[in-house]
Amino acid sequence: MFKINENYLKLPGSYLFSTIGKKVNAYAAAHPDKKVIRLGIGDVTQPLAPAIIEALHKAVDEMAAAETFRGYAPDLGYEFLRNAIAENDYRARGCNISADEIFISDGAKCDSGNIQEIFGQGNKIAVCDPVYPVYVDTNVMAGRTGVYDSAKETWSDVIYMPCTAENNFAPEIPKERPDIIYLCFPNNPTGSAITKPQLQEWVDYANKVGAVIIYDAAYEAYISEENVPHSIYECEGAGLCAIELRSFSKNAGFTGVRLGFTVIPKELKCGEVSLHSLWARRHGTKYNGAPYIVQRAGEAVYSPEGKRQLKQQIAYYMKNARYILEGLQSAGYTVSGGVNAPYIWLKAPGGMSSWEFFDDLLERANVVGTPGSGFGPSGETYFRLTAFGSYENTVEAVDRIRAL
Ligand code: MLT
């Protein structure tokens, strides 16, 4: 008889955003007269920028002619895209990352879930609490997290680094030594950011104890403050200890198009083994690359027109963020985030739990958010709203909440 991967049976409940989706769909079906405004999952709503659409059309036409048709993409991704990334995202910021240290993929969610495959079973992971659930769940699937405590909602073999109002939602170096440290800044879900000296401390710590940092920078395009690093490679020594994940979903609206990349510097090694070569082996074996058409669309993100148009798109979402932040603050809510990130993190009022507030908001204001407890125990009594809605819906949602 075949056997299943029993680690999957340890996973409590379904994936957070699937659970929310089901709840909201059931509510909407039962109340067809209500206009439900969804500020839950961080999914974009603005159409793709004209420069990207133009690049997509052009690439589609190329696929229609034998001379310009493309089959399988190169393992690591097309050079035109990797060069554009290396130049614009790294060298322009003084980071010493070359095109052949960049692996193109179909998004940061997949990469953040898959990257743990190249690490041994016995590694101990450390995560922020609250945290994007993919990091933990994929380590559960790999059997790396020990036993689940349903009362505490924690895993015995995971080091949790609480991010609370007391520490300004920035994790502190844990007492127990981790092997793999997941960091995401600007942060999902709290919307907080850390300064370059703060990130440098993590890099120094990882290099000192021989840990690797998996740095999720999916929201870097939303940084508005000067002292906040866009890449971990802005820090001294990060090439020796850090893998960086990036996405085109949030900076360019590719949630439905799918494109991302992972950076693994060649100098990042475990003993004599370079992690770059392991990920290259994995990529080559299990992945056939993001579509040519999509990679051309990604290239357009870095064109002068693309850059200009996307700056406007980010500004549009950040105007929403400001409206939520200021609107809820003036209504007496305790609110943070929304300055360097498209997420606003608020305290549920009146001592409500995260899920109680979720139900209350859905029921009385017909507004969907994400319960903070879904991201980890320290998220309990918190709630996340995304700035990725349309401006009109954002204004209406905030006004409805204020009127409760
Ligand atoms: C979120 O809402 O946290 C994100 O949209 C999820 C994701 O990017 O996969």
Tens of pLDDT, residues 189-198: 999 999 999 9
* Residue among 15, 41, 137, 317 to mutate when testing ligand 1 (max atoms within 8 A of CB): 41
Distance 42 CA to ligand 1 centre (A): 5
Distance 189 CA to ligand 1 centre (A): 9
In the prediction, which pLDDT does 291 show?
97
Task: Enter the tokens of residue 297.
Answer: 């669309």
Q: Which CATH architecture has domain 6-46+307-402?
A: Alpha-Beta Complex (3.90)
Nearest to 40 by CA among 362, 368, 400: 368
Taking the CA of residue 109 as reference, the ligand 1 atom at the shortest distance is: 9
CA-nearest residue for atom 9, ligand 1, is: 109
Nearest to 127 by CA among 210, 46, 214, 190: 214
Taking the CA of residue 189 as reference, the ligand 1 atom at the shortest distance is: 3
Task: Enter the tokens of residue 20.
Answer: 């929310």
Beta strands in 252-354 (DSSP E): 260-263, 269-270, 273-274, 335-337, 343-347
Contact 98, 86 (CB under 8 A): yes
In this structure, is the dihedral angle defined by the CA atoms of residues 208, 209, 210 and 211, taken in order, positive or negative?
Answer: negative
Is 53-304 a domain of CATH 3.40.640.10? yes
Q: Within 13 Å of residue 340, how many CA atoms lie on the same side as its CB?
A: 21
Taking the CA of residue 40 as reference, the ligand 1 atom at the shortest distance is: 2
Orientation angle between helical segments 391-402 and 304-330, nearest 10 degrees: 10
Distance 107 CA to ligand 1 centre (A): 11
User: Where does ligand 1 bind, in terms of residues with CB under 6 Å?
Assistant: 41-43, 109, 132, 188
In the prediction, which pLDDT does 65 show?
98
Distance 374 CA to ligand 1 centre (A): 12
CA-nearest residue for atom 1, ligand 1, is: 42
In the prediction, which pLDDT does 15 show?
83
Distance 17 CA to ligand 1 centre (A): 8
Torsion of Cα atoms, 14 then 18 then 20 then 23, to 10° = -90
Distance CA 94, CA 96 (A): 6
Tell me whether residue 245 is exposed, middle or buried, using C-beta atoms within 10 angstroms of its C-beta: 0 to 12, 13 to 18, 19 or more.
Answer: buried
Q: Domain ranges for the chain, please list them.
A: 6-46+307-402, 53-304
* Residue among 105, 131, 188 to mutate when testing ligand 1 (max atoms within 8 A of CB): 188
Distance CA 234, CA 90 (A): 9
Distance 358 CA to ligand 1 centre (A): 17
Nearest to 210 by CA among 240, 245, 175: 240
Distance 275 CA to ligand 1 centre (A): 26
In the prediction, which pLDDT does 16 show?
87
Distance 255 CA to ligand 1 centre (A): 9
CA-nearest residue for atom 5, ligand 1, is: 42
What is the model's pTM?
0.97
Distance 218 CA to ligand 1 centre (A): 10
CA distances (Å), origin 302, targets 36, 80, 217, 309, 310:
36, 11, 17, 10, 10
CA-nearest residue for atom 4, ligand 1, is: 42
CA-nearest residue for atom 6, ligand 1, is: 42
In the prediction, which pLDDT does 13 show?
82
Taking the chain (404 residues) in runs of 10, the rounded mean pLDDT of each run is 97 88 95 96 96 98 98 95 98 98 97 98 97 97 96 96 98 98 98 98 98 98 98 98 98 98 98 97 95 98 98 98 98 98 98 96 97 96 98 98 96
Contact 368, 39 (CB under 8 A): yes
In the prediction, which pLDDT does 233 show?
98
* Residue among 15, 16, 17 to mutate when testing ligand 1 (max atoms within 8 A of CB): 17
Distance 43 CA to ligand 1 centre (A): 7
